[in-house]
Amino acid sequence: MRRPTIADIARQAGVSKGAVSYALNGQPGVSEATRARILAIANEIGWRPNIAARALNGARAHAVGLALCRPARFLGVEPFFMELISGIEAELSARSYALLLQVVGDHEAEMGVYRRWWGEGRVDGAILVDLHLDDPRVPQVEELGMPVVVLGHPSAAGSLVPVWADDSAAVRETVEYLVALGHRRIARVAGLPQLSHTAIRDRAFGDVCAGLGLDACPIVHTDYTGEEGARATRRLLSSPERPTAIVFDNDIMAVAGLSVAQEMRLDVPADLSVVAWDDSPLCQVVRPPLTVLTRDIPAYGAHAAQRLLALIDGVEARPLEDEAPRLTTRGSTAPPA
């Protein structure tokens, strides 16, 4: 059962292919009566435009790409990506754009994917995530000439359109809140040090702590996994000057840290306050529920998709600073005992 084409419609309607094309695309050149007849036939025989044929005429591919460059076992852990994707999706599907997804092993493979997608005309643009310091992808993508929106701070985005949130403000809010509660020894269990947002949060953390005249404010870097989060927490809590509050860079490490504290017979929040970055159902089911830095991740994705679509349409896409993460206090933070 062949898929119907405009030639089939043309034959049935007794007009030319050209007329059918005009009718179906809402362009002038056919009378209303003919247009209605053609639309009725198209509808009846279940015609759909063949995107390949459309794309061949220099038109858009009506798809954008997203390549994720973290090992599968890390990806699954964090709700972040799934939420981000659903936000991107919502925006794309409203405009009938498809999302091409690929999980890659490293940046080289990721660039290979972009080159292929772009070269084959599969996508009209892409969204770059997890920016690194001096990210090699930025100049390479710039050279490729593909429309790209970057999820990350403008300082690392080169000439690409950035969509970002003010992590520094969030760090400041958190530390100031903890200090207001009476904490003086605050630690940070951070993610991968080569990620640009890790660096930004690190610097903000250092600056705020110094500005408030706090004692040692150690930062430990991890790979975002529960195991490393647990190990980092164990180390921090075993030190002679153990912190009374720890800020974690994601939820799974925060939960792991919570478990470690309880294992070490420390009461949370009396002996240790815990803050997690990014809210997730997980943070609310553990006891005590975790104080978190909340972001609207789907909105974040949606905004990136909007900017990308604008870019593809040739509209000048301006950088977008999204809402800064907000501190949501729950049971895991309190004045130190």
Partner DNA sequence: CCCCTCGGCTGAACCGGTCCAGTGACCCTC
Partner DNA sequence: GAGGGTCACTGGACCGGTTCAGCCGAGGGG
Q: Could you say whether residue 21 binds DNA (CB under 7 A)?
A: yes
Q: Write out the binding residues for DNA, residues 34-53 only, by CB under 7 A.
A: 34-35, 47-50, 52-53
| 336: alpha, beta or left? (left if phi > 0; alpha if psi -120 to 50) | beta
Phi, psi of 314 (to 5 degrees): 85, 0
If one asks whether residue 24 binds DNA (CB under 7 A), the answer comes out as yes
Q: Does 121 bind a second copy (CB under 8 A)?
A: yes
The torsion defined by the Cα of 158, 162, 165 and 166, in degrees rounded to 10, comes to 30
| 148's tokens | 């790209």
Q: Which of 319, 309, 317 is nearest to 62 (CA)?
A: 309
Tell me whether residue 120 is exposed, middle or buried, using C-beta atoms within 10 angstroms of its C-beta: 0 to 12, 13 to 18, 19 or more. Answer: exposed
Verify binding: residue 145, DNA, rule CB under 7 A.
no
Residue 29 lies near DNA (rule: CB under 7 A): yes
Cβ burial of 183 (10 Å; 0-12, 13-18, 19+) is buried
In this structure, the chain runs to a length of 337
Q: Which two tokens stand for residue 162?
A: 């950035």
Contact partner, 212, from a second copy, DNA, none, Cβ < 5-8 Å per class = none
Q: Tell the smallest beta-carbon distance from residue 61 to DNA (Å).
A: 12
Which stretch, 23-31, 102-110, 247-255, 271-279, contacts DNA (CB under 7 A)?
23-31
Q: Which residue has the tokens 């679509």?
A: 309
Exactly one of 93, 94, 155, 335 binds a second copy (CB under 8 A); that residue is: 93
The answer to whether residues 249 and 190 touch, using CB atoms and an 8 Å cutoff, is yes
Is residue 212 close enough to count as binding a second copy by CB under 8 A? no
Site string for DNA, 296-335 (x = CB under 7 A): ----------------------------------------
Q: Between 225 and 273, whose beta carbon lies closer to a second copy? A: 225
Site string for a second copy, 250-269 (x = CB under 8 A): --x--xx--x--xx------
Residue 224 engages DNA in binding (rule: CB under 7 A) = no
| Strand, helix or coil for residue 298 | helix
Order of strands across the sheet with 326-328?
219-221, 186-190, 245-248, 273-277, 291-294, 326-328
**CB closer to a second copy, 102 vs 168:** 102
Binding-site ranges for a second copy (CB under 8 A):
1, 3, 46-56, 61, 63, 72-73, 75-77, 79-83, 85-87, 89-90, 93, 96, 98-104, 113, 115-117, 119-122, 145, 225-227, 229-230, 252, 255-256, 259, 262-263, 280-282, 284-287, 298
Binding-site ranges for DNA (CB under 7 A):
2-7, 14-22, 24-25, 27-35, 47-50, 52-54, 56-59
